Amino acid sequence: MPKFRPYLAVYIIVRQQQSILLLQRKNTGFDDGKWSLPAGHVEEGESALTAAVREAEEEIGIVIPPSALKLIYTLHRKSDERTYIDLWFEAKRFDGVPVNKEPNKCAGLMWSNAQNLPENTQEYVKRALKDMQTNGYGSLGLT
């Protein structure tokens, strides 16, 4: 039997007072039109922390020192045929002003109250943001 190899992804929660930064997905083939967080896959040989720093710069043009990222939640989820382990980091500080650096994959950015997310926010993102207030781990679609 082959070894189980989940995909590893990182999510970055960028806060401005009571709001968090959301990106609207487009042309990705997955949940296009829905709001999500800056996020991406961890590349071969890359640490999750390094991936979070890289994704923040690539997607929204901000620089986050690794020491300013805090791991606050882990989500183990099944999505279609793939299984993911998602690591959710919160940026305690960052340099720069968020801008849409990937207009081919992102329709726009917006600040939203984490307690009142847009209706078309990815369901697992909504659930994770709610769950992380009381838990450090969640699971979706797995037994």
Question: What pTM value is reported for the model?
Answer: 0.94
Phi/psi class of residue 64: alpha, beta or left (left: φ > 0; alpha: ψ in -120 to 50)? beta
Residue 143 has pLDDT above 80, yes or no: no
Taking alpha carbons only, the member of 105, 113, 124, 121 closest to residue 59 is: 105
Into which CATH architecture does domain 7-140 fall? Answer: Alpha-Beta Complex (3.90)
* pLDDT tens track for 24-81: 999 988 899 999 999 999 999 999 999 999 999 999 999 999 999 999 999 999 987 8
What pLDDT does residue 81 have?
82
C-alpha dist (Å) from residue 129 to 31, 39, 46, 94, 135: 17, 14, 25, 20, 10
Amino acid at 57: E
User: In the structure, what pLDDT confidence band is assigned to residue 116 with cuts at 50, 70 and 90?
Assistant: very high
Q: Which helix (H) or strand (E) holds 39?
A: strand 39-41
* Strands 137-140 vs 69-79: parallel, antiparallel or unpaired: parallel
